[in-house]
């Protein structure tokens, strides 16, 4: 084993430990904001694994799309919803937890069996590095141009819808008079700028 192999093994072990630790934090913590921040850690560690696989474009896309867009959207969704509810214990909650544990163990066994049974042979002509970017660019602007543009229009429509929903004071008068369309908000305490 040379130095490069040792660095790759140590890097893989650190990234795998980071991914598993943050994933456990996502599902085990009670505070949903902390879970959302730990989800960003999961995405970052996955992009590190892509870098170890010489897939730099996929790693950059992972950071840009999942950390920069999806996780930020989740955080905005959590922080814009200002509904605060007290936790009410559920009777016989252990049944749901046991069922969840059985499903998770079954999925883990199924995925583990798939990993062991799959022949992981490399392709005869792998595309890596800058050549992969050229091939992806050619496919984006030839074979997948229409779906690519449709996704951009769909994202624009979602952005406009989010702005309309967030700016509730500009609802039409008939919608503002209907109390079923208004969202009750928690009263906020005023803060002072400091002691005078």
Examine residue 91 and state whether it is found in any structural domain, yes or no: no
In 10 A of CB 36, how many CB atoms? 20
- Do the domain assignments include residue 93? no
Each residue's pLDDT tens digit, 19-57: 999 999 998 888 888 888 999 999 999 999 999 988 888
Residue the block writes with tokens 């799959």: 118
- Burial of 90-104, coded b for 16+ CB within 10 Å and e otherwise, reads eeeeeeeeeeeeeee
pLDDT (average), residues 173-188: 55
For residue 173, being part of any structural domain is answered with: yes
Domain-embedded: residue 89: no
Whether the pLDDT of residue 169 is over 60: the answer is no
Residue 106 lies in a domain: no
- Quote the number of domains for the chain: 2
In a domain? residue 188: no
- Could you list the residue range(s) of the whole structural domain that residue 168 is in? 132-183
HSE, side-chain direction, 13 A CA sphere, residue 46: 16
């Amino acid at each position: 084993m040379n130095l490069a192999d040792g660095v790759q093994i140590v890097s893989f072990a650190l990234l795998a430990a980071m991914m598993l630790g943050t994933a456990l934090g996502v599902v085990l913590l009670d505070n949903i904001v902390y879970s959302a921040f730990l989800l960003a850690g999961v995405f970052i560690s996955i992009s590190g694994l892509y870098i170890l696989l010489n897939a730099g474009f996929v790693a950059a896309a992972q950071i840009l799309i999942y950390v920069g867009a999806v996780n930020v959207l989740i955080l905005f969704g959590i922080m814009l919803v200002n509904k605060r509810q007290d936790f009410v214990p559920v009777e016989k909650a252990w049944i749901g937890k046991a069922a969840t544990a059985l499903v998770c163990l079954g999925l883990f066994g199924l995925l583990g069996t798939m990993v062991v049974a799959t022949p992981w042979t490399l392709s005869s002509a792998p595309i890596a590095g800058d050549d992969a970017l050229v091939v992806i660019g050619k496919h984006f602007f030839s074979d997948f141009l229409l779906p690519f543009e449709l996704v951009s229009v769909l994202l624009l429509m979602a952005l406009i819808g989010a702005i309309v929903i967030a700016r509730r004071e500009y609802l039409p008068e008939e919608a503002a008079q209907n109390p079923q369309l208004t969202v009750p908000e928690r009263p906020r305490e005023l803060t002072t700028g400091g002691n005078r």
